[in-house]
């Protein structure tokens, strides 16, 4: 890396500086007492610092004579000069990876929210229960084919955890889709985010986090005051219920993740959720679920709400700290408002935008202040699986 940035001795320099003789190349005892050995920082600095460090490399030995017994040793490299060295390719690659990670998270959020907007457009044809069945059924089929989870060798407690996980997943999707059938998408996601936010505040057990909870409650109160008479109370209730199920999903996700390898637990839970919602979907929509246009749109909803964002978020977690990932996930209400405006033509008032901003700020603050460093990896992974499974 740094070797490519180090200056190469020119032929002119080679002819003007005498070549090191055998006695100069192999330092004798007298030289060892006058020339200090390179310190730990110089040893680990890499080839780029070798041009100024006292221990000359073979290529430097041909351009500058070694210090004799009576000559003072060359001064060690100045830390300020080392800091002024241009960033190497590794640092540039790291910055590029972080930028790519941010783009992947935002792309996943856009996919999830536009998938939710597309699902809303399918409600008149297939009903809310029918869309939930299509979305979970197709997503479960894809996950089972890709992951191929092992079915044998699991204890009864493992299957009980998967069943509870699937129940939370089914309830979360059903309640959320019922909510966006009644209130704007952006407001539904704003209310739903309160579930993970409250979970973060309670588990952190820090006084500062209660301030963020108060900020979120102020946003909800502002939203309720502005939406009185405009928002369907049932839609608000469904959105809050989806938030509760989302919090339960995060807790169960951590438990199942410890019992099953990779994403096998999520695949099995998705299959269980699909089976749980299948009777409601058939009863509510019947043969309408088998119509080619409905199946095509349902497949698009499943891809946008699960497959694409799940893949993008897994790639993003390899490039970003999990705390940064969780903060970016807190922007879900803003992305949902954008998707509702573009796809469904849903407009929000200034007061509703302010309320959503307060909830987003509270969510970001709770993520940054409430999680201990050792907990952040699990939180980031749970946030990833929860967001993609929900298909907000």
Q: How many CA atoms lie within 13 A of 268 on its CB side?
A: 24
Task: Say what the pLDDT of residue 9 is.
Answer: 39
Please report the pLDDT score of residue 163 as a whole number: 95
Residue-level pLDDT at 43: 38
Q: Which pair of tokens denotes residue 90?
A: 């590794």
pLDDT along the chain (392 residues), means of 10: 39 39 40 40 40 41 45 48 54 76 87 92 93 94 91 91 94 96 91 86 75 83 71 92 92 87 89 95 89 93 88 81 75 88 88 87 76 45 45 48
* Residue 174 burial (CB count, 10 A): 24
What phi, psi does 51 have (nearest 5°)? -70, -20
Dihedral of CA atoms 225, 335, 254, 374 in degrees, nearest 10, equals -100
Each domain of the chain, given as residue ranges in start order, spans: 99-390
Cα 237 to chain centroid, rounded: 28
Q: Is the model's pTM score more than 0.95?
A: no
Q: Rounded CA gap, 383 and 56, in Å? A: 51
* Dist CA 102 CA 310 (whole Å): 14
CA 370 to chain centre: 17
């Amino acid at each position: 890396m740094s070797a490519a940035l180090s200056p190469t001795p020119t032929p002119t320099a080679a002819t003007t500086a005498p070549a090191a003789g055998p006695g100069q190349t192999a330092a004798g005892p007298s030289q060892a007492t006058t020339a200090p050995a390179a310190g730990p920082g110089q040893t680990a600095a890499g080839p780029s610092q070798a041009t100024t460090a006292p221990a000359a490399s073979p290529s430097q030995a041909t351009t500058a004579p070694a210090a004799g017994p009576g000559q003072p040793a060359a001064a060690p490299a100045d830390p300020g000069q080392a800091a002024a060295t241009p960033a190497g390719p590794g640092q540039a690659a790291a910055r590029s990876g972080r930028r790519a990670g941010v783009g992947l998270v935002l792309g996943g959020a856009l996919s999830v929210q536009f998938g939710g907007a597309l699902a809303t457009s399918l409600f008149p044809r297939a009903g809310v229960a029918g869309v939930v069945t299509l979305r979970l059924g197709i997503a479960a089929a894809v996950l089972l084919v890709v992951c191929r989870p092992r079915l044998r060798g699991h204890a009864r407690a493992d299957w009980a955890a998967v069943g509870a996980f699937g129940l939370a997943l089914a309830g979360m999707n059903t309640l959320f889709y019922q909510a966006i059938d009644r209130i704007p998408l952006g407001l539904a996601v704003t209310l739903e985010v309160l579930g993970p936010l409250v979970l973060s505040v309670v588990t952190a057990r820090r006084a500062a986090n209660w301030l963020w909870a108060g900020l979120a409650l102020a946003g909800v109160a502002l939203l309720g005051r502005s939406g009185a008479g405009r928002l369907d109370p049932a839609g608000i209730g469904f959105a809050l219920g989806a938030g509760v199920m989302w919090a339960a999903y995060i807790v169960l996700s951590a438990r199942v993740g410890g019992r099953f390898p990779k994403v096998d637990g999520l695949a099995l839970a998705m299959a269980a959720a699909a089976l749980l919602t299948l009777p409601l979907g058939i009863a509510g929509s019947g043969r309408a679920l088998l119509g080619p246009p409905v199946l095509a749109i349902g497949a698009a909803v499943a891809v946008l709400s699960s497959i694409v964002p799940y893949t993008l978020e897994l790639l993003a977690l390899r490039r970003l700290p999990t705390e940064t990932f969780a903060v970016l996930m807190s922007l879900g209400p803003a992305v949902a408002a954008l998707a509702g405006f573009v796809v469904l033509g849903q407009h929000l008032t200034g007061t509703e935008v302010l309320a959503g901003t307060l909830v987003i700020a509270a969510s970001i603050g709770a993520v940054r202040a409430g999680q201990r460093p050792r907990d952040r990896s699990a939180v980031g992974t749970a946030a990833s699986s929860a967001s993609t499974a929900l298909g907000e």
